[in-house]
Amino acid sequence: MTSHSRGKREDCDGPERVTAPGAAARTGHGQVTGGAEAAVLLDVRRSDEWRAGHAPGAVHLPLEALAAGAGLPAEAGVRPVVVICRSGCRSQQAVELLRARGVEAVDVVGGMRAWADVGLPVVGPAGGNGCVA
């Protein structure tokens, strides 16, 4: 199943997208290569989705708050940003907003679903195993 068949929108393609393994590499999940500073993984899902499960070390800022002009978490102000949501459409919207602010950002094709599908870790509220909601 492609990310297109999972999403509700068909216009979720863009030139600045990375796969879940690519996002993991950029953010330091697994092996970090080249000594480059790791990017920040910014999760733009709703708070209830975040609480159900998110990538370890990710920072949270719901898309609605970002669209309303909320400030970025401190980590995202000085490092490249990899944006993730549930399936990849909200994160693409967030990338557009971030770039308008001058932030270097890409988004994850397939979002947290793809992240979990390739076996990358998802943690819940108490640090144990989480789920993608």
User: Which sequence positions are flagged as catalytic?
Assistant: 85
Contacts of 13 (CB under 8 A, 6+ apart): none
Cα 21 to its chain centre, rounded Å, is: 12
Phi-psi region of 102 (alpha: psi -120 to 50; beta: other; left: phi over 0): left
Secondary structure element (H or E) that encloses residue 11, with its range: none
How many degrees, rounded to 5, is the angle at CA 29 between CA 91 and CA 129? 80
Contacts of 126 (CB under 8 A, 6+ apart): none
